[in-house]
Protein backbone atom coordinates (compact mmCIF):
# COMPACT_ATOMS: atom_id res chain seq x y z
CA UNK A 1 0.00 0.00 0.00
CA UNK A 2 1.05 3.58 -0.61
CA UNK A 3 0.15 6.20 2.01
CA UNK A 4 -0.14 9.88 1.06
CA UNK A 5 -0.59 12.55 3.71
CA UNK A 6 -3.27 15.16 3.08
CA UNK A 7 -3.53 18.77 4.21
CA UNK A 8 -5.26 17.63 7.44
CA UNK A 9 -3.06 16.20 10.17
CA UNK A 10 -3.42 12.41 10.21
CA UNK A 11 -5.86 12.14 7.29
CA UNK A 12 -4.26 9.85 4.74
CA UNK A 13 -5.02 8.65 1.22
CA UNK A 14 -4.34 4.94 0.80
CA UNK A 15 -3.57 3.58 -2.66
CA UNK A 16 -3.11 -0.10 -3.39
CA UNK A 17 0.05 -1.59 -4.85
CA UNK A 18 -1.49 -3.79 -7.51
CA UNK A 19 0.02 -7.04 -8.70
CA UNK A 20 -1.41 -7.17 -12.20
CA UNK A 21 -1.59 -9.89 -14.82
CA UNK A 22 -3.94 -10.98 -17.62
CA UNK A 23 -6.65 -11.83 -15.06
CA UNK A 24 -6.72 -8.37 -13.49
CA UNK A 25 -4.97 -7.51 -10.23
CA UNK A 26 -4.51 -8.51 -6.61
CA UNK A 27 -3.78 -5.99 -3.87
CA UNK A 28 -3.84 -5.70 -0.11
CA UNK A 29 -6.52 -3.21 0.96
CA UNK A 30 -5.75 -3.22 4.69
CA UNK A 31 -2.92 -4.32 6.98
CA UNK A 32 -3.16 -3.48 10.68
CA UNK A 33 0.63 -3.66 11.05
CA UNK A 34 1.22 -1.05 8.33
CA UNK A 35 -1.47 1.25 9.69
CA UNK A 36 -0.10 0.94 13.25
CA UNK A 37 3.43 1.74 12.07
CA UNK A 38 2.16 5.02 10.64
CA UNK A 39 0.26 5.93 13.80
CA UNK A 40 -3.09 5.16 12.18
CA UNK A 41 -4.04 2.61 14.80
CA UNK A 42 -7.47 1.54 15.79
CA UNK A 43 -8.83 -1.96 15.97
CA UNK A 44 -11.53 -2.56 13.36
CA UNK A 45 -14.80 -3.41 15.14
CA UNK A 46 -17.39 -2.71 12.43
CA UNK A 47 -17.68 -2.86 8.67
CA UNK A 48 -20.46 -0.70 7.22
CA UNK A 49 -21.85 -0.29 3.72
CA UNK A 50 -23.64 2.79 2.43
CA UNK A 51 -25.66 2.52 -0.79
CA UNK A 52 -27.01 5.72 -2.33
CA UNK A 53 -29.49 5.74 -5.19
CA UNK A 54 -29.23 9.32 -6.44
CA UNK A 55 -26.29 11.35 -7.73
CA UNK A 56 -25.79 14.58 -5.76
CA UNK A 57 -26.84 13.09 -2.40
CA UNK A 58 -24.83 14.24 0.61
CA UNK A 59 -24.28 11.98 3.61
CA UNK A 60 -22.73 13.48 6.74
CA UNK A 61 -20.75 15.22 8.14
CA UNK A 62 -20.49 12.90 11.20
CA UNK A 63 -18.05 12.17 13.99
CA UNK A 64 -18.09 10.78 17.53
CA UNK A 65 -16.67 12.32 20.70
CA UNK A 66 -15.09 10.71 23.78
CA UNK A 67 -15.48 8.13 25.08
CA UNK A 68 -16.53 6.66 21.72
CA UNK A 69 -14.18 8.28 19.18
CA UNK A 70 -13.60 6.27 16.03
CA UNK A 71 -11.30 6.18 13.04
CA UNK A 72 -12.57 5.15 9.62
CA UNK A 73 -11.07 3.68 6.49
CA UNK A 74 -13.40 3.95 3.54
CA UNK A 75 -13.43 3.01 -0.08
CA UNK A 76 -15.98 3.58 -2.84
CA UNK A 77 -16.77 0.12 -4.22
CA UNK A 78 -19.36 1.20 -6.81
CA UNK A 79 -19.79 4.59 -8.47
CA UNK A 80 -17.94 7.69 -7.29
CA UNK A 81 -17.91 10.20 -4.42
CA UNK A 82 -16.26 13.36 -3.25
CA UNK A 83 -15.26 12.60 0.30
CA UNK A 84 -14.82 15.47 2.76
CA UNK A 85 -13.12 15.48 6.16
CA UNK A 86 -13.34 18.37 8.64
CA UNK A 87 -10.82 18.45 11.50
CA UNK A 88 -12.71 18.92 14.79
CA UNK A 89 -9.69 18.32 17.07
CA UNK A 90 -9.33 21.59 18.98
CA UNK A 91 -5.60 20.92 19.64
CA UNK A 92 -4.85 20.22 15.97
CA UNK A 93 -2.96 22.71 13.78
CA UNK A 94 -5.63 22.07 11.12
CA UNK A 95 -8.63 22.56 13.47
CA UNK A 96 -11.83 23.31 11.47
CA UNK A 97 -10.03 23.03 8.15
CA UNK A 98 -11.32 20.59 5.59
CA UNK A 99 -10.04 18.58 2.66
CA UNK A 100 -11.66 16.50 -0.04
CA UNK A 101 -10.66 13.64 -2.30
CA UNK A 102 -12.41 11.79 -5.10
CA UNK A 103 -12.90 8.10 -4.38
CA UNK A 104 -14.21 5.92 -7.19
CA UNK A 105 -14.74 2.25 -7.87
CA UNK A 106 -12.23 2.66 -10.71
CA UNK A 107 -9.40 4.38 -8.81
CA UNK A 108 -9.55 1.88 -5.90
CA UNK A 109 -8.40 4.63 -3.55
CA UNK A 110 -9.21 4.62 0.18
CA UNK A 111 -9.22 7.39 2.77
CA UNK A 112 -8.20 7.12 6.42
CA UNK A 113 -10.24 9.46 8.65
CA UNK A 114 -8.65 10.19 12.06
CA UNK A 115 -10.67 10.25 15.27
CA UNK A 116 -12.53 13.53 15.93
CA UNK A 117 -12.65 14.41 12.25
CA UNK A 118 -16.11 14.85 10.76
CA UNK A 119 -16.67 12.85 7.62
CA UNK A 120 -19.19 13.10 4.80
CA UNK A 121 -19.46 12.66 1.08
CA UNK A 122 -21.44 13.56 -2.01
CA UNK A 123 -22.26 10.95 -4.62
CA UNK A 124 -21.11 11.78 -8.14
CA UNK A 125 -23.00 8.90 -9.77
CA UNK A 126 -26.32 7.16 -9.24
CA UNK A 127 -26.15 3.80 -7.44
CA UNK A 128 -22.99 4.47 -5.46
CA UNK A 129 -21.75 2.19 -2.69
CA UNK A 130 -19.17 2.95 0.00
CA UNK A 131 -17.53 0.46 2.38
CA UNK A 132 -16.31 1.62 5.80
CA UNK A 133 -14.02 -0.11 8.28
CA UNK A 134 -14.60 1.55 11.66
CA UNK A 135 -12.58 1.37 14.89
CA UNK A 136 -15.45 2.16 17.27
CA UNK A 137 -19.00 1.07 17.78
CA UNK A 138 -21.70 3.56 16.83
CA UNK A 139 -22.71 5.33 20.03
CA UNK A 140 -25.69 7.66 19.44
CA UNK A 141 -25.04 9.66 22.63
CA UNK A 142 -21.53 10.51 21.37
CA UNK A 143 -22.52 11.28 17.78
CA UNK A 144 -22.01 14.81 16.53
CA UNK A 145 -22.41 16.40 13.14
CA UNK A 146 -21.78 19.46 11.03
CA UNK A 147 -24.02 21.03 8.45
CA UNK A 148 -22.90 20.34 4.89
CA UNK A 149 -23.69 23.98 4.00
CA UNK A 150 -22.25 25.69 7.10
CA UNK A 151 -20.80 29.04 5.97
CA UNK A 152 -18.09 28.76 8.66
CA UNK A 153 -16.73 25.70 6.82
CA UNK A 154 -17.18 26.98 3.26
CA UNK A 155 -17.23 23.50 1.71
CA UNK A 156 -17.75 23.56 -2.04
CA UNK A 157 -19.67 20.47 -3.13
CA UNK A 158 -19.19 19.72 -6.84
CA UNK A 159 -22.90 19.13 -7.58
CA UNK A 160 -26.14 20.64 -6.44
CA UNK A 161 -27.34 18.74 -3.38
CA UNK A 162 -30.22 16.54 -4.55
CA UNK A 163 -30.91 14.73 -1.25
CA UNK A 164 -29.86 14.93 2.38
CA UNK A 165 -31.42 13.41 5.48
CA UNK A 166 -33.41 15.60 7.86
CA UNK A 167 -30.88 14.76 10.57
CA UNK A 168 -27.91 15.88 8.45
CA UNK A 169 -29.69 19.04 7.30
CA UNK A 170 -30.57 19.87 10.92
CA UNK A 171 -27.16 19.94 12.60
CA UNK A 172 -26.55 23.37 14.20
CA UNK A 173 -24.31 25.88 12.47
CA UNK A 174 -20.88 26.49 13.96
CA UNK A 175 -20.30 29.81 15.62
CA UNK A 176 -17.70 31.94 13.85
CA UNK A 177 -15.67 32.34 17.05
CA UNK A 178 -16.05 28.67 18.04
Catalytic residue among 51, 62, 63, 95: 62
Question: What burial class does residue 170 get, using C-beta atoms within 10 Å of its C-beta: 0-12 exposed, 13-18 middle, 19+ buried?
Answer: exposed
Range list of β-strands (E), 22-127: 24-26, 46-52, 58-64, 72-78, 80-87, 98-104, 110-113, 117-123
95 given a catalytic annotation: no
62 given a catalytic annotation: yes
CA-to-CA separations, 69 to 21, 38, 56, 88, in angstroms, rounded: 41, 19, 28, 12
Cis peptide before 157 (omega within 30 of 0): no
HEC assignment per residue over 115-140: CCEEEEEEECCCCEEEEEEECCCCCH
3 state SS of 166: helix
Catalytic residue among 127, 132, 138, 156: 132
Catalytic machinery residues: 62, 132
Amino acid sequence: MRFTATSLAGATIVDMDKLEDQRGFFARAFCQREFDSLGMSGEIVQANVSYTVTRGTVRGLHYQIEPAVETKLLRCTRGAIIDVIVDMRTESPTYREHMSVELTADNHRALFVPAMCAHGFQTLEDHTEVMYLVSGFHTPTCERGLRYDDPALNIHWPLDVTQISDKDAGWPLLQVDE
